[in-house]
Amino acid sequence: GAVVSQHPSWVICKSGTSVKIECRSLDFQATTMFWYRQFPKQSLMLMATSNEGSKATYEQGVEKDKFLINHASLTLSTLTVTSAHPEDSSFYICSATAAGPNTEAFFGQGTRLTVV
Amino acid sequence: QQQVKQSPQSLIVQKGGISIINCAYENTAFDYFPWYQQFPGKGPALLIAIRPDVSEKKEGRFTISFNKSAKQFSLHIMDSQPGDSATYFCAASGAAGNKLTFGGGTRVLVKP
C-alpha cells in the first residue's frame, strides 16, 4: 500500500511551548488528510479534516486555535499544538487519501507527544 | 454519540483458534466498513474492508461478515497466531476516503 510518514515519531516538550508534527504522503498525492488523537488504550478520535489549499474542518470540541493544521501541498500536512499543556499529551496520527472515489486512507505511524 | 459499537473489549484465544470481533453501527449513510490492526506505538494498518453490497469478504485468514439489515459486521481471524496479538478496530464511513468513525477497539491476545 501507499506510504504515509509522520515526523517526529515522538517528542517531549515543555508546557507552554508549541510543537509541530508533519505528515507526508511519500508516493501519492494526498488531496485529503485527517488528523486523529488517541489516548492510551482508547480508540482514535478524529480531530480535523484538511484538504489541500483549504482551511481545515475541525470536529466539534476541538480548538482550532490550539491545534493549527496546514495542508499547503499535496504531499504535506502539518499539525501544530500551540501552548501545549500536559493534558495535550497523546498519540497523534494522520491519514491521507488520494483524489478520486473510493480511495482508501493510509495511516502514518503516529507521533507520541509528551508535555512536561 | 458512539456511532460504531465494538465488542468485546478484549479477547484471549489459543494459537490456532478463531478470533471473532463484532461491530454495530447506527448511521445508515455508512457505506464502507474497514477493519484495522494496530500494534503498540504504531499507526493502524488496513486489514480488510467491505461494502454493503456483499455479505462476506475473505482475504487469507481474515473474513468480514456483513449483515446490512441488522447493521452489524464482524471480523473473523482464522488459525490465530501469536503475531496476530494486537488491537483491532472496526470503522465506518460514507465512502472509502471519507472520514472514519472508529469502534472502541478490541485487544486480542493469542496464546502460544
Interface test with B, best of A29, A43, A92 (most B CBs within 10 A): A43
Strand order in the sheet with A76-81: A4-7, A19-25, A76-81, A67-73
Pairing of strands B56-59, B4-7: unpaired
Task: Tell me the nearest-neighbour CA distance from A116 into chain B, angstroms.
Answer: 19
The tally of domains found in chain B comes to 1
In the prediction, which pLDDT does A1 show? 67
Q: Find the mean pLDDT for residues B75-92.
A: 97
Interface test with A, best of B35, B53, B98, B101 (most A CBs within 10 A): B98
In the prediction, which pLDDT does A50 show? 92
Cell of B83: 503475531
In the prediction, which pLDDT does A53 show? 82
Domain containing residue B72: 4-111
pLDDT per position as a tens digit, B19-42: 999 999 999 999 999 999 999 999
pLDDT per position as a tens digit, A76-116: 999 999 999 999 999 999 999 887 766 788 999 999 999 99
Can you tell me the distance from the alpha carbon of B80 to that of A51, in angstroms, rounded to the nearest whole number? 39
pLDDT at A59 over 90: yes
Work out the mean pLDDT of chain B and round it to a whole number: 94
Residue B34's closest chain A neighbor by CA?
Answer: A104
B83: how many CB neighbours lie within 10 A of its CB?
8
pLDDT at B1 over 60: no
Count CA atoms closer than 13 A to A30's CA, side-chain side.
32
Cβ–Cβ of B97/A104 closer than 8 Å? Answer: yes
Please check whether residue A36 is in contact with residue A44, taking contact to mean a CB–CB distance below 8 angstroms: yes
C-alpha pair distances (Å), A97 with each of A112, B22, B36: 22, 26, 16
CATH of the domain at B65: 2.60.40.10
- With an 8 Å Cβ cutoff, the interface of chain A facing chain B consists of 1, 4, 6, 32, 34, 41-46, 49, 91, 93, 95, 97-98, 100-110, 112
Q: Find the mean pLDDT for residues B70-84.
A: 97
C-alpha pair distances (Å), B87 with each of A23, B34, B36, B45, B78: 23, 14, 8, 11, 16
